[in-house]
Amino acid sequence: MHWTRGETLGAGGFGFVSIAKTHQEGGGDPNIPAVVAVKSAIVSQSKSLQKEKEVLKKLEGCPCILRCFGDKFTTENGQNLYNIILEYAPGGCLADLIGKGLPEHVVSHHTKSIITALIHIHKHGYVHCDVKPHNVLLVGQDSKLADFGSCKRIGGVEDDDDEQQQGFRGTVLYAAPESISRQEYTAASDVWALGCTVLHMLTGKAPWKFGKDAAATDVLMKIGCSDEIPAIPKVSEEAKDFLRKCFVKDPTARWKAESLLDHPFLKMADRHRRHHHHHHLSSALHSLLPQCFHVTKIHAY
């Protein structure tokens, strides 16, 4: 597969992401789309990107995880780059969609996708470590978990990259208390971050509120060491209960992703879809009634 790099979509500590057009010889692979995203880093600084590609290869097959189509080394403008070719998300990230908050049935839909991805990740022995709206990308009506640069194996012997990455991973405002206080990352840590992501979707605001003059130590102490949990807003009882299941300080008592998949809050999207389908069907039938029961005058001669 060959591709031509287009405009830059964004940049970060890992490198930068570009949109690209693919050129496949001899008909090519029908599973590879005409437009992709290329995530790139200078080769000497590409260890986390190479690790991300390896993890995505192991996690293939889940429709709720951004697809990876391979990798390639290139030389561009005198720089040696390592690139991974990813599924392009034309809808951007979930954080861009949220605004002042989303309807609960929409939040329910995206939450189900994130949980489906987390179950798949945890079953394969990994923790994402950075679940947040910015790392959930929109492909059509679907949302897909992305950015596995902070991903960590559950237990086992750490690899060289993990040894270099000792300490905090992820984003503080979405991080579980144990991740901040003990640098502990388990499947339960992803569930706390999921709760923070759901809260952000519902309210349009970050899960924790701090004044502009708050010191970093105050933020870390409040999230990592206090008895407080993020404030639960005025939402449905199902949404409140879902958040409470995520925001349990003791990670061993926190609900697992598999259990959350059956939570009533996640049924909300399905109910909304069925209701609208029924409504549209009723409207369509109603519009046909005059035609179905049209009475013509019979003239007697």
Residues taking part in catalysis:
130
Q: Are 35 and 22 in contact (CB under 8 A)?
A: yes
End-to-end CA distance of the chain: 79
- Which residue is listed with tokens 């499947």? 187
Q: Are 18 and 5 in contact (CB under 8 A)?
A: yes
| Distance, CA of 288 to CA of 226 (rounded, Å) | 62
| Distance, CA of 230 to CA of 233 (rounded, Å) | 9
Q: Please tell me the chain's helix, strand, coil percentages from 3-state DSSP, rounded to the nearest 5.
A: 45, 20, 35
Query: Quick one: which H or E segment has residue 3?
Result: strand 2-12
| Distance, CA of 33 to CA of 69 (rounded, Å) | 10
- Which residue is listed with tokens 């679940």? 131
Q: Which two tokens stand for residue 81?
A: 């780059």
Name 196's Cβ contacts closer than 8 Å, sequence gap at least 6: 131, 132, 173, 174, 207, 230, 246
